[in-house]
Amino acid sequence: MIHHKTRLIPSDAEVGLSARVFAAEQPTFSRLFVNRAEEGDEGVYACRTDTEEVTLQLILQLPLRIESAPSPQQARVGSDYKIVCQVTSPTTPTYTWYYRGDVIDIDVTSRYALAADGLMITDVMTSDAGPYTCEALNPDSGDSDFKDIVFNVIEDDTPSQASDNSLSSSLPSVTSTLFSDSRTVSVPNTNTTTSTGTGGESSGETGGGGSTSAAVGGALAGLVILMAVIVSLYIVYRNTLKRNTSAKRTAPARNP
């Protein structure tokens, strides 16, 4: 009879050969069969006869498998990043990494290094983006597993330059509009007099023309002042963006 912990292992005569765990009793020996082994089957087994008892220990070796390899993963240009590939294995596995189907030679590519749970990339470049494959192998049992991982690279944007270009391109349009509007103001001829009018009437028309000229001159002066304010605001805005950009560039890079 064979016992495991506190339970008696049934014989093949009792459960048949289709049972998952059973003992094959022979006149001079017994055999233990474990089909589709589970973690609960691990442990010490005892083979007992009327006169003696022999024990043996069953140790299960779980197959290698990749537990975690998120996809996609991403990092910023210039940062250091580890592409995660976590493996569960009874023994230390060996890793092979592929980029676009080609094996990555870690010894040749200095920016790449193997880590315990992934591939470390130093100073990430835009050319590093693309599909990667993590392959793990148990050299003792031959079990292997692999996962495909998409790696995206985020380029650093330059908002100050984009804002400067956008604002500078729109400024001539605003200036042109202002001057265009000023050209549409018609200035009446102040030298025109009514031939049938009296001296008083002619004097009145001349006075009206002078008032119109003064109004047009005031409008033009207002437009010039408005343009000066717009240019001043643009200079302040551009300098502020440049200071913010300089502060970001001098800040230490952090691993995302």
| Tens place of pLDDT per residue across the chain (256 aa) | 665 665 677 765 666 666 788 777 777 777 777 877 777 777 888 887 777 777 777 777 778 999 999 999 999 999 999 999 999 988 899 999 999 999 999 988 889 999 989 999 999 999 999 999 999 999 988 889 999 999 999 997 645 444 445 544 544 444 444 444 444 444 444 444 444 444 444 444 445 556 677 777 888 888 888 888 898 888 888 888 777 776 666 555 554 4
Question: Is the whole model's pTM more than 0.85, yes or no?
Answer: no
My answer on whether 138 and 204 are in the same domain is: no
Cα distances from 32 to residues 8, 25, 100, in angstroms, run 12, 9, 48
Q: Phi and psi of 214, rounded to 5°?
A: -65, -40
Q: How far apart are CA 154 and CA 142, in angstroms?
A: 38
Cβ 151 vs Cβ 85: under 8 Å: no
My answer on whether 246 and 165 are in the same domain is: yes
- Which residue matches tokens 């001079």? 28
Decide if 246 is inside a domain. Answer: yes
Point out the domain boundary residue: 128, 154, 180: 154
Cβ 24 vs Cβ 30: under 8 Å: yes
Q: How far apart are CA 66 and CA 43, in angstroms?
A: 26
My answer on whether 174 and 218 are in the same domain is: yes
My answer on whether 164 and 246 are in the same domain is: yes
My answer on whether 146 and 168 are in the same domain is: no
Decide if 256 is inside a domain. Answer: no
Give the DSSP H/E element, type plus range, for residue 212. helix 199-250
My answer on whether 241 and 169 are in the same domain is: yes
My answer on whether 148 and 73 are in the same domain is: yes
Decide if 178 is inside a domain. Answer: yes
Decide if 213 is inside a domain. Answer: yes
Point out the domain boundary residue: 23, 38, 58: 58
Query: How many domains is the chain built from?
Result: 3
Cα distances from 146 to residues 16, 72, 88, in angstroms, run 38, 15, 12
Question: Can you give the residue range of the structural domain that contains 10?
Answer: 2-58
